[in-house]
């Protein structure tokens, strides 16, 4: 089991390098998040000992528990639904919060960041596809929400996150990921802090890379099938 997950992540890193070479990108500018949801801390430590340092969780309490038993120099990201009463488990423990889309949650993130005397980086989650089951803001509401965030203290917008429908074909994936890239580029034209694109999972990360992804969120292709 432990050898397998190391082999899996090595294979994915090789695929990232190959895809980056095809689209003239530097693989060193890509952050691969190993999404360890529902997998034990022992698997995280295995990948850590293999040289990997970037991990993500979907559940705040699971993140809290794993941080206690894993090396301190892991860079943690939070990519799941945000509950305001669980933000205390995220700050100051995570480098980046990916899934912000409500005023209530970003206000609480700001409040907690002020209390901890840190600057908390975050991404706005955008529902590019319009799929009803997906969370995130409609694209036409992002500018207003970003303006609201700019009036809060101790937070810094770094970019955007999206998820594509699982049944999307390649043409649709290019359209979805390309739309988020265009949004990032527009915002970057007046705020140079906005550089990140969190998009691409196990089934679609190569297309996400072709469209400019800077952060990949990959779980099952590394750890295997989850036992829910």
pLDDT tens for residues 47-101? 999 999 999 999 999 999 999 999 999 999 999 999 999 999 999 999 999 999 9
Phi, psi of 114 (to 5 degrees): -60, -45
Q: Give the CA radius of gyration of the chain.
A: 17
pLDDT exceeds 90 at position 228: no
Query: pLDDT class for 227, splitting at 50, 70, 90?
Result: low
Pick from 79, 25, 70: which is nearest to 52 by CA? Answer: 70
Query: pLDDT class for 130, splitting at 50, 70, 90?
Result: confident
- Looking at residue 89, what DSSP letter applies? G
Block residue for tokens 């207003």: 144
The tokens describing 20, both together, are 């980056």
Strand runs labelled E in the chain: 31-35, 54-57, 75-78, 96-100, 120-125, 155-161, 196-198, 215-218
Block residue for tokens 């990997």: 52
The tokens describing 106, both together, are 């970003």
Contact criterion met (CB below 8 Å) for 183 and 126: yes
Find all residues with CB under 8 Å of 89, minimum gap 6, and list them.
60, 61, 63, 64
The tokens describing 121, both together, are 């980086």
Length of the chain: 228
pLDDT exceeds 90 at position 4: yes
Q: Does domain 2-222 have CATH number 3.20.20.10?
A: yes
What ranges do the domains of the chain cover?
2-222
Q: pTM for the full model?
A: 0.96
CA triplet 167, 128, 9: central angle to 5 degrees? 60
The tokens describing 215, both together, are 């952060």
């Amino acid at each position: 089991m432990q050898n397998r997950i190391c082999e899996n992540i090595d294979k994915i890193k090789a695929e990232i390098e190959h895809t980056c070479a095809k689209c003239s990108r530097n693989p060193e500018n890509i952050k691969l998040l190993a999404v360890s949801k529902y997998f034990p801390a022992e698997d995280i430590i295995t990948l850590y000992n293999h040289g990997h340092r970037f991990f993500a969780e979907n559940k705040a309490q699971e993140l809290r528990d794993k941080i206690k038993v894993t090396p301190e120099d892991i860079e943690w990201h939070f990519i799941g639904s945000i509950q305001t009463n669980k933000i205390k488990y995220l700050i100051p423990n995570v480098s980046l919060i990916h899934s912000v889309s409500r005023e209530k949650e970003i206000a609480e993130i700001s409040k907690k960041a002020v209390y901890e005397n840190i600057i908390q980086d975050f991404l706005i989650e955008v529902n590019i596809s319009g799929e009803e089951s997906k969370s995130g803001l409609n694209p036409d509401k992002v500018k207003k929400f970003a303006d609201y965030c700019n009036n809060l203290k101790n937070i810094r917008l770094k970019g955007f996150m999206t998820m594509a429908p699982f049944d999307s074909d390649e043409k649709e994936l290019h359209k979805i990921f390309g739309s988020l890239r265009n949004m990032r580029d527009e915002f970057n034209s007046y705020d140079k802090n906005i550089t990140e694109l969190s998009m691409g999972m196990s089934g679609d990360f190569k297309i996400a890379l072709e469209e400019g992804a800077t952060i990949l969120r990959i779980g099952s292709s590394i750890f295997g099938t989850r036992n829910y």
